Structures are given as structure tokens and as C-alpha cells.
Amino acid sequence: MQDELFGLFPIPVMRARGVLDAPLVAALNAHFVAQATDPNKSSANLAHTQMLQPAESPLFVEAAAKITPRLADFGLQLFGERLPWQLKEMWVNVLDPGGHQSVHNHANSFISGVIYLTPTHADSQTVFMKALGGAEYQFKNDHAKVAVTPYSASKWISPAPQPGDMILFPSYLLHSVPPNRGERRITLAFNAIPSHLNSWGYMIRFGG
């Protein structure tokens, strides 16, 4: 009989290709790059726009209409129910050559996402990683001959994106961007929350 291997409790990450069309990508770049004036504390070559609610920008309203249906699909995997979702905030990141984004996650949200607005250098794709610490072995088997598997890996590099592609992930998941070795890298980031969560009658509602 053949042995079976079960992948227990995986963390979902969703890639959706071509969520934003080329005209909308171009309009977002043209409008928001000049507004990315908030410097990043860890990298001098990274700047952000202010966080805005979708209603505060017509371009974000248009983007949100294309993003939101995917949130329901992804939320089904997280919570086992197709819930109404809303984008809590959206912002644009401008990463110039040599800049990087340090390891972080996103607070006060459940789904976070990135839409790529420019081509991304192969060395500067988004990197996801396991939480520091956790209930795992404290000894490591780590050397040149090790074959890394999904169960032994400590990080995962997202697939090469095209402008308009989107990636969704649980907001608690640590991620970073290595030093940008290519041209200016521009992304649209966002956080989302469901309308509510119901734990056997204990209902929590989110949003205004």
C-alpha cells in the first residue's frame, strides 16, 4: 500500500491575475506616485501615500469594485463562510532602486493584499515567512545538502507578478520585500474586514 502525506492546517495565499486592467493601472500610477511622500522608517528609498478609504478616491472606488469579489472567495477559505467584505484602507507604495520593505504584518484587519502596478524585478518579489518562534522544533537541520520542502521552509517567494496582478493573504502573515535591484516598483496595498464574525451566537460586527 502507498504511504500518504497530509498537509495539515495550511496558510492560504491567493494569486489573482489581471484584476486591474492596464488603463486603471496607468491611472493609479499617474495619480498616486506624486502623493507618496510619507517616508518609510527602515528604508530611505521607500515611500507611501496616506492610507485612504476607497470612497476618498474615485480611482480607489474603481479598484475596490474589482478587488471585493475576490475577498469573498478568499474569506471563504479563512472562515468557512461567504461573508460580505469591505476594504478598510488602501495606499500606494513607491520603492525606488535599492529600497526594501522590512518584515511586518498588518494589524486590525483580516485579509491584506497587494496589487502590482509596475513590473517587479525577480530579486524583489514579495517574500512571506513563518512567524518567529511558535510551537515547532528548536533544532534545525540546515545546510547545503538540505532539500527544502513546504514543511521545512521558513519563507516562500511569491510568483513573478505582472502589472494588475493581485495577491491576497491573512493579515497576520509576515512578509517583506528584498532590496529592489530593478526599476521603480509601485504597488497598491490594502486591508479588509468582514461584515461580522459569528462564534456560536457571539456576534462581532466590524466597520462603521
- The CATH number assigned to the domain holding 62 equals 2.60.120.620
Classify 33 as helix, strand or coil: helix
Residue 8 makes CB contacts below 8 A (sequence gap 6+) with none
Contact 167, 67 (CB under 8 A): no
98 within a domain of the structure (yes/no): yes
200 within a domain of the structure (yes/no): no
111 within a domain of the structure (yes/no): yes
Contact 184, 97 (CB under 8 A): yes
At 182-201, the pLDDT tens digits run 999 999 999 999 999 999 99
Confidence at residue 141, expressed as pLDDT on a 0 to 100 scale: 84
139 within a domain of the structure (yes/no): yes
Confidence at residue 132, expressed as pLDDT on a 0 to 100 scale: 76
For residue 12, what is its C-alpha cell? 492560504
Q: Which uninterrupted H or E stretch holds 14?
A: strand 14-16
Contact 174, 104 (CB under 8 A): yes
pTM for the model stands at 0.94
Domain count, the chain: 1
206 within a domain of the structure (yes/no): no
Confidence at residue 94, expressed as pLDDT on a 0 to 100 scale: 98
118 within a domain of the structure (yes/no): yes
The rounded mean pLDDT for the chain is 95
**What is the Cα–Cα distance from 195 to 203, expressed in whole angstroms?**
10
In angstroms and rounded to an integer, the radius of gyration of the C-alpha atoms of the chain is 18
At 3-21, the pLDDT tens digits run 999 988 999 999 999 999 9
Domain membership of residue 171 as a residue range: 14-195
Confidence at residue 73, expressed as pLDDT on a 0 to 100 scale: 97
154 within a domain of the structure (yes/no): yes
The CA dihedral of 7, 10, 12, 15, to the nearest 10 degrees, is: -40
Confidence at residue 136, expressed as pLDDT on a 0 to 100 scale: 66
**What is the Cα–Cα distance from 19 to 115, expressed in whole angstroms?**
8
Work out the average pLDDT over 85-98: 97
At 94-138, the pLDDT tens digits run 999 999 999 999 999 999 999 999 999 999 999 999 887 666 666
4 within a domain of the structure (yes/no): no
Pick from 184, 60, 167, 178: nearest CA to 114: 167
In 78-201, beta strands by DSSP E = 85-95, 101-104, 111-116, 127-129, 155-157, 166-170, 174-177, 185-194, 196-199
